[in-house]
Amino acid sequence: SQTIHQWPATLVQPVGSPLSLECTVEGTSNPNLYWYRQAAGRGLQLLFYSVGIGQISSEVPQNLSASRPQDRQFILSSKKLLLSDSGFYLCAWSVRDEQFFGPGTRLTVL
């Protein structure tokens, strides 16, 4: 069966610090991968999606970036965090059109 991992589970970072969140998927090959952010009391915002290694599409202009160095690894990064980057970051994978979410990383920027 397929499993998706995200780490860390929680993170507190100062404004201006860098960020690296990692997501890995097990039990499937060549999945589509997604990064979402969910701010407090708000809906899911699609940040990036990837259909293959090195293929990244950005949905929203921002100070975040994403990379897919391996088939089942998806990384979300920032060089300098802003207060507005706080939120619940979710990685998801899909085969065909059903999406499945990882456990998420709760990021607080102070």
Partner 1 sequence: QKEVEQNSGPLSVPEGAIASLNCTYSDRVSQSFFWYRQYSGKSPELIMSIYSNGDKEDGRFTAQLNKASQYVSLLIRDSQPSDSATYLCAVVENRDDKIIFGKGTRLHILP
End-to-end CA distance of the chain: give it in Å, rounded: 38
Structure tokens at 70: 């391996």
Q: Which CB atom, from 11 or from 46, has the smaller least distance to partner 1? A: 46
Q: Which CB atom, from 44 or from 53, has the smaller least distance to partner 1? A: 44
Contact with partner 1 (CB under 8 A): which of 26, 30, 42, 82? 42
Structure-derived torsion over alpha carbons of residues 99, 69, 54, 47, reported in degrees to the nearest 10? 50
* 44 makes contact with partner 1 (CB under 8 A): yes
User: Which residues make up the interface to partner 1 (CB under 8 A)?
Assistant: 32, 42-44, 46, 49, 90, 94, 97-104, 106
